[in-house]
Structure formats: structure tokens, C-alpha cells
């Protein structure tokens, strides 16, 4: 048995102290990601990537269940393609990685782009793939029989960002982009709504992040879209995070790429399009919704490790016995379909292991010591429990641990994971409710965002884009969405008057600070 090593605690700023630093510290302690030597590009470390893989699997299953197939299109887009759809081009021109040469050369001992390899037409690394994909669809669509065409791509994209933030805003990020083609506007609109619903359902049932669904304002629409639907989550600093978007593109891209089809009446018509996407930004949303001052908290459905088993011992003899029992428990949980890990690393104190797995967000820990062997029991510790108002942290810590007879403990694991999944969603819902206001007066609005920490504000709005700018300057808030009617809380429904102009308004909008 090696002598236990002392481990350096990987301290985390508290949310109250410094929310931005807390976010970075959680990522660091959980080894999720870090900056790379390439400006704006992040490295997703194995634990972070494993969470993304779990998200991918869940989303991909949903895409396939709704009839979509995966495909792969080029990383590069010729400049002239991007230029085809005017709004699209101006929307993405400012943040493009541009390829101008295809060879390097050593000149005077320095490696430089070979001037002779200059491309006739520069290429852009895809910031999104509408233009290159619709150019290909031209070959695939002739008749209404070829429609709908329901395709998704998992890919990396690049948008040159100056101010980056791990997961939330990086120059390169990973995402999926659905690109569908339809014979009618009605079908395309249905698809747009259907995929937003898929995102919302995934967000709530898998990520345990409640969302508000709605339309983006004209100014916030995807460049080239006629309508952009979105889901907005609330982070623990009360800010909104746009988690996914689904765009109705009308015939803009089919016209730009000249994709017509023969309809059932034999007439040629431009195809109707949608596109929709979510990205590794969702990992950022996950972190900021659930984590606490001890580190990452993960909903069991997205936890790469759901249960970690830690044997406790002081001698080689005790080690042999507790590790043997730990292996048995490991096998039993694995047989139940639980993602379980046995941490039998020697030379690391149990406390250091608890600290490490806590920081990595593992939902359940099973501790097995010599006394547990004697008693035939197991200690099951939860990463979190639901809050009880007024409870001290110490009391809550105790409530997290259960000493159960062995069989009962094993049988409790799957139901406990399921319960924790639900509790996280409820907790996030309760948090959002507590930080949501229906506001009619500008002074209350100011108080909410300047003195009370802010959150989601349901307000009547009938202002101009310039007046939206005014709100942004005064309060740092913006219209997160024009909500679907059923998304507005009962007490906030009905007509009223614009909070700024007093003009009549039919439905409140969702205002918040945002990422």
C-alpha cells in the first residue's frame, strides 16, 4: 500500500463572490475544457467531451425518431456562395476564417504561405452550412416526390469571436445543423416548430433545464431567416442563455441556389427550407444551471459516471476486503445498466477522492469501509439534495448520506438517480420562478435589474428597434423572445401598455440580461 499523497485543493470561487470566476473554476475543477494556444479555440477535455457525447446520443436519437438522416458536407465554402444570399453574407462576413493559400514554403528559413499557391477564389471555413448544402440539394431535388428532405449534420463551425468564453462563445465550436427542404410553406413551418419542440423537450427532460419558447425579434433573427424560434434558459446569475434556435427560411436559400421542384400540379416552384441547431454551448448552460460552490452538478441522464465507488481502508488486509466488495457492487450496478466507476486508486485519501468526484459532478458515491462490511451495509452519498428552506449547510450535508442495508442500497440506486433527475429540474424551475417578475412600471423594472439581481421580466412592449437599444443601454436588457402564448405565466397574460412608450400591446415579451 502506497502512502496516501496529499492533494492540492482546486479551490472554487463562490457564486456570490464572483460568478464569472466561479464558472471558470467549476470547468477547471471538473476538467471539462481549457483554452488552447489558438486564439479563441478551446480544448474539450475527456470529461467535458463525454458529456457532449451523451447529449449527442440523446439528440441524435430524437432527430432519427423524427425522420432525419445524418450526412456530411464540406468544411469550406467558396466566397461567392456566401455572397449569394445578401443578408446571410452580411451577417457572417465579419467573423470568418478565410483561406487564401493551399501550400507552405520555406523562404529565407521562414515558413510562409507559398505565394504561388494563392487560391483563385478564397474559401471560408463554414460559419454555418446553408449555402453549401443548398448548392448540393439542387442535385437531389427535382420533384415533390423527393420532398421532404430531412438532413442533419454533426460538425465543427467557426465564427471568429474576439471575446471568447469557454463553451459559451468560442471561435470554433461543435454543433449539429439540421437542413430540411419541403414542398409547402405549411410543412416547413411545422418542421420549424417540431424541431424547437425537440430541443425544448431535450432541454427539460435530459438537461433538466426549463426553457421559455418563442420567436426572436426581427433584429435577432438568423441572417437570411424569415422567422427564428428559440428556447431561452435562465442561468444562476439570472441571465438568459439562448440554448437552441430553429429557423424558417422560406424560399430565400432555394432562390439563392436556384432549387426548384415540380409540384403535384406539374408546376415548378422554389423549395421551402428550415434549419436548426444546438451546440457545445449547451454544456455551458448545463454548468451554469445546476452547479454549486463545490463544483459541477450533473443530471444523471448526462453524467458520464453516475455512481462512483470508493473503498476505504487503513491496511493492506482492509484494502483487499473492501476492494473485493467494491468489485462486487460494481458488477451488480453495471448489470443494472448504471454507468459506474470503481475508484480503487491506491495512495489517494478517500477524502481527496470524494472531493475530486464531487467536483466532476458524479451524482452518487458509494463508500465501502471495514465497518460497512461487518454490518452488511453501504453508504450512499448524493451529490445534491433538494433544498429545505432555512437548513444549514451542515445539516444538508448530513442529509446527503444514507447508510443502508446492502440489498436495499443497491436497489435504491436507479430510483435515486431518477429522482435526482426530477429534483434538478424542479430546483431549476423554482429558481426561475423566484427570479421572474411581471412588471408594468419602468421604475420597478429598474429596481429589479439594478437592485434585486434581475432575472426574467414579463413586460408589455410596443417600442421601435431604437427604443430596444435604449433599454439595452439603460438596463443591459434585451427582448429574449416574443413568447408562444402558452409560455406566458397566467398572471402575465392579457393586453396592456408598453412599459416604455405606453402604446397598446397584446402580449408581454420576455426581457432579461443575456449571454
Residue list 388-447, contact with its own copies (CB under 8 A): none
Number of shown-chain residues binding its own copies (CB under 8 A): 62
Cis peptide upstream of residue 427 (ω within 30 degrees of 0) = no
Nearer Cβ to its own copies, position 112 or 388?
A: 112
Say whether residue 100 binds its own copies (CB under 8 A). yes
For residues 75 and 59, give the distance between their C-alpha atoms in angstroms, rounded to a whole number.
22
Residue 348 grid coordinates: 489517494
Q: Which three cell numbers stand for residue 44?
A: 474539450
Site for its own copies in 338-357 (CB under 8 A): none
Nearer to its own copies, 161 or 476 (CB): 161
56 by Cβ neighbours in 10 Å (0-12 / 13-18 / 19+) ranks as: middle
Q: How far is the CB of 45 from its own copies (least distance, A)?
A: 6
Cβ–Cβ < 8 Å for 156, 174 = yes
For residue 82 the three cell numbers come to 456566401
Cβ distance to its own copies smaller for residue 163 or 473: 163
For its own copies, the closer CB: 47 or 432: 47
CA distance 503 to 100: 52
Check residue 97 for interaction with its own copies (CB under 8 A).
Answer: yes
Determine contact, residues 33/42, Cβ cutoff 8 Å: yes
What's the CA gap between 262 and 257, in Å, rounded? 16
d(CA 42, CA 164): 9
Answer whether 296's CB lies under 8 Å from 356's CB: no
Between 139 and 392, name the residue whose CB sits nearer to its own copies.
139
Please give the grid coordinates belonging to residue 64: 432519427
Contact predicate 297/383, CB 8 Å: yes
Q: Is 102 in the site for its own copies (CB under 8 A)?
A: yes
Pick one of 22, 23, 63, 81: the residue that binds its own copies (CB under 8 A). Answer: 81
Among the listed residues 12, 27, 30, 82, the single contact to its own copies using CB under 8 A: 82
160 binds its own copies (CB under 8 A): yes
Q: Does 95 sit near its own copies (CB under 8 A)?
A: yes
Pick from 11, 111, 335, 490 the residue near its own copies by CB under 8 A: 111
| Binding of residue 148 to its own copies (CB under 8 A) | no
CB of 60 to its own copies, least distance (A): 9
Residue position matching grid coordinates 482546486: 10
Give dist(CA 133, CA 151) in Å, integer: 10
From 81-89, 411-419, 435-443, 503-511, give the range in contact with its own copies by CB under 8 A.
81-89
Min. distance of Cβ 152 from its own copies in angstroms? 9
Element (H, E) at 416: helix 406-434
| Helix ranges (DSSP H) in 77-144 | 79-84, 86-92, 130-140
The interface with its own copies within residues 40-59 (CB under 8 A) comprises 41-46, 49-50, 52-53
Least CB distance from residue 280 to its own copies, whole Å? 9
DSSP 18: -
Site string for its own copies, 168-187 (x = CB under 8 A): ----x-x-------------
Nearer to its own copies, 45 or 422 (CB): 45
Any contact of residue 151 with its own copies (CB under 8 A)?
A: yes
136 binds its own copies, rule: CB under 8 A:
yes
Whole-angstrom Cα distance, residue 373 to residue 175? 47
Greatest Cα-to-Cα distance within the chain, rounded to the nearest angstrom: 83
What is the β-pairing status of strands 104-107 and 110-113?
Answer: antiparallel
Does residue 156 belong to the site contacting its own copies (CB under 8 A)?
A: yes
Rule CB under 8 A: is residue 495 a binding residue for its own copies? Answer: no
Does position 71 bind its own copies by CB under 8 A?
A: yes
Considering only 19, 74, 262, 328, the residue that binds its own copies (CB under 8 A) is 74
**Of the listed pieces 76-84, 179-187, 318-326, 349-357, which binds its own copies according to CB under 8 A?**
76-84
Contact (Cβ atoms closer than 8 angstroms) between residue 146 and residue 269: no
Interaction site with its own copies (CB under 8 A): 34, 36-38, 41-46, 49-50, 52-53, 69-79, 81-83, 89, 93-106, 111-113, 117, 122-125, 132, 135-136, 139, 151, 155-156, 158, 160, 172, 174
Amino acid at each position: 500500500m502506497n502512502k496516501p499523497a496529499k492533494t492540492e485543493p482546486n479551490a472554487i470561487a463562490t457564486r456570490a463572490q464572483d460568478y464569472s470566476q466561479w464558472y471558470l473554476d467549476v470547468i477547471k475543477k471538473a476538467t471539462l475544457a481549457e483554452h488552447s494556444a489558438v486564439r479563441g479555440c478551446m480544448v474539450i477535455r475527456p470529461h467535458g467531451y463525454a458529456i457532449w457525447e451523451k447529449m449527442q446520443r440523446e439528440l441524435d436519437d430524437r432527430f432519427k425518431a423524427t425522420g432525419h438522416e445524418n450526412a456530411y458536407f464540406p468544411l469550406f465554402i467558396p466566397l461567392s456562395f456566401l455572397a449569394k444570399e445578401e443578408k446571410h453574407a452580411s451577417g457572417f462576413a465579419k467573423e470568418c476564417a478565410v483561406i487564401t493559400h493551399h501550400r507552405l514554403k520555406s523562404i529565407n528559413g521562414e515558413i510562409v504561405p507559398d505565394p504561388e499557391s494563392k487560391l483563385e477564389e478564397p474559401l471560408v471555413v463554414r460559419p454555418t452550412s446553408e449555402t453549401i448544402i443548398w448548392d448540393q440539394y439542387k442535385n437531389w431535388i427535382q420533384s415533390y416526390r423527393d420532398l421532404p428532405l430531412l438532413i442533419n449534420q454533426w460538425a465543427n463551425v467557426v465564427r471568429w469571436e474576439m471575446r471568447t468564453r469557454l463553451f459559451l462563445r468560442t471561435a470554433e465550436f461543435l454543433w449539429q445543423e439540421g437542413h430540411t427542404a419541403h414542398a409547402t410553406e405549411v410543412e416547413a413551418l411545422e418542421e420549424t416548430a417540431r424541431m424547437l419542440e425537440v430541443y425544448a423537450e431535450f432541454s427539460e427532460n435530459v438537461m433538466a433545464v426549463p426553457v421559455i419558447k418563442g420567436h426572436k425579434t426581427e433584429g435577432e433573427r438568423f441572417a437570411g431567416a424569415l422567422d427564428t424560434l428559440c428556447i431561452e434558459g435562465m442561468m444562476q446569475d439570472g441571465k438568459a442563455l439562448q440554448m437552441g434556435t430553429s429557423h424558417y427560411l422560406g424560399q430565400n436559400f432555394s432562390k439563392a441556389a436556384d432549387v426548384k421542384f415540380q409540384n403535384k400540379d406539374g408546376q415548378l416552384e422554389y423549395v421551402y427550407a428550415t434549419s436548426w441547431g444546438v451546440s457545445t454551448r449547451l454544456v455551458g448552460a448545463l454548468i451554469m444551471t445546476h452547479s454549486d460552490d463545490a463544483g459541477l452538478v450533473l443530471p444523471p441522464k448526462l453524467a458520464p459516471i453516475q455512481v462512483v465507488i470508493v473503498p476505504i481502508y487503513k491496511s493492506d488486509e482492509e484494502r483487499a476486503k473492501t476492494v473485493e466488495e467494491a468489485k462486487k457492487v460494481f458488477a451488480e450496478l453495471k448489470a443494472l445498466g448504471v454507468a459506474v466507476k470503481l475508484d480503487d486508486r491506491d495512495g489517494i485519501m478517500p477524502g481527496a477522492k470524494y472531493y475530486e468526484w464531487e467536483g466532476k459532478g458524479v451524482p452518487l458515491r458509494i463508500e465501502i469501509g471495514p465497518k460497512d462490511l461487518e454490518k452488511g451495509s453501504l453508504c450512499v452519498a448524493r451529490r445534491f439534495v433538494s433544498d429545505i428552506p432555512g437548513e444549514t449547510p451542515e445539516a444538508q450535508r448530513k442529509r446527503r448520506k444514507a447508510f443502508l442495508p446492502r440489498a436495499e442500497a443497491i436497489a435504491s440506486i436507479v430510483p435515486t438517480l431518477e429522482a435526482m433527475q426530477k429534483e434538478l429540474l424542479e430546483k431549476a424551475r423554482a429558481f426561475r420562478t423566484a427570479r421572474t417578475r411581471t412588471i408594468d412600471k419602468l421604475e420597478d423594472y429598474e429596481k429589479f435589474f439594478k437592485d434585486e439581481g434581475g432575472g426574467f421580466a414579463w413586460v408589455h412592449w410596443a417600442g421601435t428597434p431604437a427604443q430596444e437599444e435604449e433599454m439595452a443601454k439603460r438596463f443591459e436588457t434585451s427582448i429574449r423572445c416574443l413568447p408562444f402564448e402558452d409560455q406566458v405565466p397566467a398572471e402575465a397574460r392579457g393586453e396592456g401598455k408598453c412599459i416604455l412608450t405606453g402604446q397598446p400591446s397584446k402580449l408581454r415579451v420576455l426581457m432579461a440580461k443575456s449571454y
